[in-house]
Amino acid sequence: MSQKDHPQAHDHEHNHSHADAKDKFLERLKEQGFKLTGKRQMIVDTLLEEDRYISAKELLERMQKVFPRLSFDTVYRNLHLLKVEGIIEESTFGDGGSKYRITCDTNQHHHHYICTVCGKTELVEGCPMDLLGITAPRGFQIESHRFEIFGQCGECH
Amino acid sequence: MSQKDHPQAHDHEHNHSHADAKDKFLERLKEQGFKLTGKRQMIVDTLLEEDRYISAKELLERMQKVFPRLSFDTVYRNLHLLKVEGIIEESTFGDGGSKYRITCDTNQHHHHYICTVCGKTELVEGCPMDLLGITAPRGFQIESHRFEIFGQCGECH
DNA sequence: ATCAATGCAAACCTTTTGCACGCGT
DNA sequence: ACGCGTGCAAAAGGTTTGCATTGAT
């Protein structure tokens, strides 16, 4: 690789809670023997800064400004790892496959308002599984659920 | 086309409500100038009989027993039309892209329990948008929402 | 030094499209 | 006869994988 990695940080690390969250995430990876490469860190950085759903393609394009030779497979491999580790969330809406966002700090169960234009999210208060009188059909074993409210955020319409 | 079409019906049309629903759907298509081809009808038939989420691939394979030369593009073109017409619903869960099911007779707003193994569904009573005290973030314009409960049905676990 | 991460290229899978022909009306 | 529907083939997206090399620890 001719390009240089930047293990410490890149420019926009101006936000304390971001830095804290990043450290927490990277710590988790480190403990399991995964390596803290510049690209892996930049994915976490970017998702923390953007704080919205981003496609693999958009992520790639943003990161290529810093790592010109970065390729889709690296992005996807890292996204997969980060998803398995619970560091990011995946959703599919609109066109063009999956989109990803950083998991909320708290890591608590939650649902989102999602802007279908820019991918920005807001937390929904409460969870339908608690507030709806959910009684599963006889024999049905509930494993998970999905609740998302789509629309356009104030800046996008 | 060397194969024969079956405009009236194929074998399993044993259920009255299915026949009624089918007529209603086909009527709707006819009014708009779409033609009631054997393949289009068999997609509706199959989805009515199965009454669960099915992938384009599974649909193709089932239908190829009757129409050996049926191809993906025809399946997709018809699925797209049926979706636009509100005759079928699309969802993405599990692997392998979208899955489709016939829209409930009533055509009322609803949500589903979905078996992730076989795609079978049950209606959820109530809608979180009504029962949750939804107050969108300032400026956020709600356009739609998604609420699905995943798990395994009695026959699949 | 070790083992994970990456780039490259190719493959894979689902879905879409252009075109000429066939079929429902 | 008209115009939608279909098959074929090819392409377009998004995503994954094998392999050799590079890099983090």
From A132-141, B3-12, B76-85, B138-147, the region with the lowest mean pLDDT: B3-12
pLDDT score, position A6: 39
Closest CA to A99 of A35, A148, A66: A148
d(CA A26, CA A13): 15
Alpha carbon of A14: minimum distance to chain B alpha carbons (Å): 26
Rounded average pLDDT over B126-135: 85
Interface of A with B (CB under 8 A): 92, 113, 115-116, 122, 124-126, 128-129, 131-155, 157
Q: Which residue has the tokens 């030369």?
A: B69
pLDDT in tens, A31-53: 999 999 999 999 999 999 999 99
Band (pLDDT 50/70/90 cuts) for residue A14 is: low
Asked whether residue A3 carries a pLDDT value surpassing 60, the answer given is no
Rounded average pLDDT over B109-132: 93
Rounded average pLDDT over B104-109: 81
A71 CA vs C10 C1’ separation (Å): 14
Asked whether residue B78 carries a pLDDT value surpassing 60, the answer given is yes
| Per-chain mean pLDDT for chain A | 90
Rounded average pLDDT over B43-66: 97
pLDDT in tens, A91-142: 999 999 999 999 987 779 999 999 999 999 999 998 999 887 778 999 999 9
A77 CA vs D18 C1’ separation (Å): 14
Give A106's contacts (C-beta < 8 A, 6+ positions apart).
Answer: none
Rounded average pLDDT over B97-120: 93
SS3 state of residue B118: coil
Asked whether residue A7 carries a pLDDT value surpassing 70, the answer given is no
DSSP, res A143: E
Q: Enumerate domains of chain B plus CATH numbers.
A: 17-102 (1.10.10.10), 107-151 (3.30.1490.190)
Strand partners, A149: A113, B145
Q: Which residue has the tokens 């709600």?
A: B142
Asked whether residue B97 carries a pLDDT value surpassing 90, the answer given is yes
Give the N- to C-terminal CA distance of chain A in Å, as an integer: 43
Rounded average pLDDT over B48-73: 97
d(CA A124, CA B133): 10
d(CA A47, CA A104): 11
| Per-chain mean pLDDT for chain B | 89
| Strand C reaches within 7 A of the A26 CB | no
Asked whether residue A12 carries a pLDDT value surpassing 50, the answer given is no
List the single residue in A with minimal CA-CA distance to B149: A145
On whether the CB atoms of residues B134 and B98 are closer than 8 A, the answer is: no
Whether residues A140 and B131 touch (CB distance < 8 A) is answered with no
d(CA B47, CA B26): 14
